[in-house]
Amino acid sequence: MKVFGTEAIVLTSRDYGESDRLVAFHTADCGKIRGIAKGARRSRKRFCNTFEPCSLVSLECRERNSLYWIEACSLVEPYLPMRADVERWAYSALLSEVVLEMVPDGEPQPELFRLHKETLDRLEKDRDPQNVLIMALLRFQFHTGYMPALDACTVCGRALKTAKKWYWHPGQGKLVCPEHFSPAAGYTAVDLGTLALIHYSRNIALDRIWRLRMRQDVKLPLFRGLLDWIRHHTGKEIRSLKVIEQLVPSMAAGAGRREI
Ligand SMILES: [Zn+2]
């Protein structure tokens, strides 16, 4: 089998057998893959510090029977300033979890990889890392096809501009007008301006998405809505959320859910 190279982001890494490491990557050319680094624990020099989660690496491997054998791996960007800031680090870990759970193995999706890579860059330097994560998760929803058009009521087709307040169910991918809203778990109230911003964010160039800023009072309910969406589709709790709840007081478990 021929050796090929690709840029990749490390998702997880664990010991495997006597002397190997099993590493999950989000790659530019092959989508999400799992690779085996033979002898990585015996010879630390060969893969020196390259399997740290959320690092950007340059990978060389060969594929055999859906398994990837890592020949070489070199560090491109360790995102050290991001690692030094626990909140930013927790957001990048959350994104890794989302990719790990929601991106199918072995399906190349270059746009999704670019989104992941740019999000890590932004999480490192943007003044508002929570806004970065929200924009990234919204864009992720568009790419994976879970996001409804958000331009009319899913039930009656009523146009967006005919009502000021709407109700979004991220888990079910529904947007309903006040007439078709019934108080139930999972709904997030969204104002017209925020919906317009979300709508706008789906089609603009990726490098411009970071300039969009969610209103301060909108961010938290929207973030919670997006987390509900992740839970709904993975059927699992989000491990890194526990860290975020400890770091960001407004995210603490049990803190009142506010409407947008
Ligand atoms: Zn309706």
Do 182 and 231 fall within a single domain? yes
Task: Find the CATH number of the domain harbouring 23.
Answer: 2.40.50.140
Distance (Å) from CA 64 to ligand 1 centroid: 52
Do 27 and 116 fall within a single domain? no
Distance (Å) from CA 156 to ligand 1 centroid: 4
Do 72 and 91 fall within a single domain? no
Distance (Å) from CA 165 to ligand 1 centroid: 12
Count of domains observed in the chain: 2
**Is residue 231 within 8 Å of residue 223, measured between CB atoms?**
no
Do 85 and 103 fall within a single domain? yes
* Predicted confidence pLDDT, tens digits, the chain (260 residues): 788 999 999 999 999 988 899 999 999 999 999 999 988 877 767 787 889 999 999 999 999 887 899 999 999 999 999 999 999 999 999 999 999 998 999 899 999 999 999 999 999 999 999 999 999 999 998 888 777 677 899 999 999 999 999 998 877 778 999 999 988 767 888 899 998 888 888 889 999 999 999 988 888 888 888 888 888 888 888 888 888 888 877 777 655 454 44
Q: How confident is the model at residue 192, as a pLDDT?
A: 92
Within 28-109, residue ranges assigned H as helices are: 80-83, 86-102
Q: How confident is the model at residue 45, as a pLDDT?
A: 72
Do 178 and 136 fall within a single domain? yes
- CB under 8 Å, gap of 24 or more: what pairs does 159-162 form? 160/192, 160/195, 160/196, 160/199, 161/192
Q: How confident is the model at residue 149, as a pLDDT?
A: 73
**Is residue 166 within 8 Å of residue 195, measured between CB atoms?**
yes
Q: How confident is the model at residue 255, as a pLDDT?
A: 54
CA distances from 241 to 45, 229, 248 (A): 34, 14, 10
- CB under 8 Å, gap of 24 or more: what pairs does 193-197 form? 194/218, 194/222, 194/260, 195/150, 195/160, 195/166, 195/168, 196/160
Residue 55: count of CB within 10 angstroms of its CB: 21
Task: Find the CATH number of the domain harbouring 234.
Answer: 1.20.1440.120
Does any domain span residue 260? no
Do 85 and 69 fall within a single domain? no
Distance (Å) from CA 160 to ligand 1 centroid: 10
Which of 58, 77, 96 represents a domain boundary (last residue)?
A: 77
Does any domain span residue 257? no
Distance (Å) from CA 182 to ligand 1 centroid: 11
Do 46 and 173 fall within a single domain? no
Distance (Å) from CA 21 to ligand 1 centroid: 52
Distance (Å) from CA 171 to ligand 1 centroid: 18
Q: Which residues contact 123 (CB under 8 A, 6 or more apart)?
A: 79, 82, 88, 91, 92, 129, 132, 133
Do 64 and 126 fall within a single domain? no
Domain with 214 in it: 80-251
Which of 77, 103, 133 represents a domain boundary (last residue)?
A: 77
Does any domain span residue 170? yes
Distance (Å) from CA 170 to ligand 1 centroid: 16
Distance (Å) from CA 179 to ligand 1 centroid: 6
Report pTM: 0.89
Distance (Å) from CA 159 to ligand 1 centroid: 9
Does any domain span residue 72? yes
Does any domain span residue 256? no
